[in-house]
Amino acid sequence: MRISRNILRTTAVAGLAAVTLAACGGTASEARPSRAEATAKPTVVLVHGAWADGSSWAPVADRLQGAGFTVDIEPNPLRGLASDVRYLKDYLASVAGPVVLVGHSYGGMVITAAATGNANVKALVYVNAYIPQQGDTIEKLTAAQPGSALDPKKSIDAVPIRDASGKDIDVDVYVKRAEFARLFAAGIPAGTAAALAASQRPLTLSSLTEPFTAVPAWTTIPSWAFIGSADRVLPPNEQQVMAGRAHAHVVRGPAPHLSMVSSPTAVTAVISDAARQR
């Protein structure tokens, strides 16, 4: 018997949601959509950002599945912008039918390039995310407006990346655990923030200065943006500037950088709105 990839994905995400929601003091929905309900809606593909993994999307994934959506959480490699874009492009090629593509933080850089030219992607949703245009970098956009408390000298730990011969080829950067909650998770329960800090996946240092070179997908695909007004990583004012030039439908909320963990109901509402108006 052959088991479909989407069934495997949905099962895995459901289990992941239950674990993460338990850590947040919640419970996963018991009712799941029927096959007919799931196929009547677009697939929602969630792309996490730097210093995170797919579990950061679990509270949102649970709510979307409860509302009848098929949900895929793409395992963003975080190995460099061009490389991560190629991976997501290939990943999207395996998803049949219409897609609502959602990116958090650095994931916004990735979805903005990967969706270009993909007719199945009907809407882009940016959650406390970078919305780049050609020539932009993570470093440039983070510093474009005052307000970011992410200080590379104080907030980051570095681990060299070496090839098989021992030659240094890049550096992996992590957020210091002592800084993680203050920067990313203000207002999130301490135990949940500690678990997120412990499970973070690193970004390559070179990713911070790698320029965005693609034609931005938001030039042809409708966009939505959720802006967390308590974000200490990517200044809310810069998020507003980026959303404005992308002509995105903007929703603001009193959330930190990890808004999908602190305010999953509000973030889910924005994604659902994008799905309805595609």
Alpha-carbon distances of 217 from 62, 98, 156, 221, 244, rounded to whole Å = 27, 15, 31, 6, 15
Question: Residue 50 — very low, low, confident or very high, per pLDDT cuts 50/70/90?
Answer: very high
Backbone angles phi, psi at 121, to 5 degrees: -80, 110
Q: Does the pLDDT value for residue 128 go beyond 80?
A: yes
Supply the pTM of this predicted model.
0.86
Q: Does the pLDDT value for residue 160 go beyond 70?
A: yes
Alpha-carbon distances of 194 from 87, 115, 181, 186, rounded to whole Å = 29, 33, 7, 12
The residue range of the domain holding 146 is 5-276
Question: Any residues with CB less than 8 A from the CB of 180 and at least 6 apart, and which?
Answer: 51, 193, 196, 197, 200
Q: How many domains are there within the chain?
A: 1
Q: CATH number, domain at 136?
A: 3.40.50.1820
| Percentage of the chain lying above the pLDDT 70 cut | 86
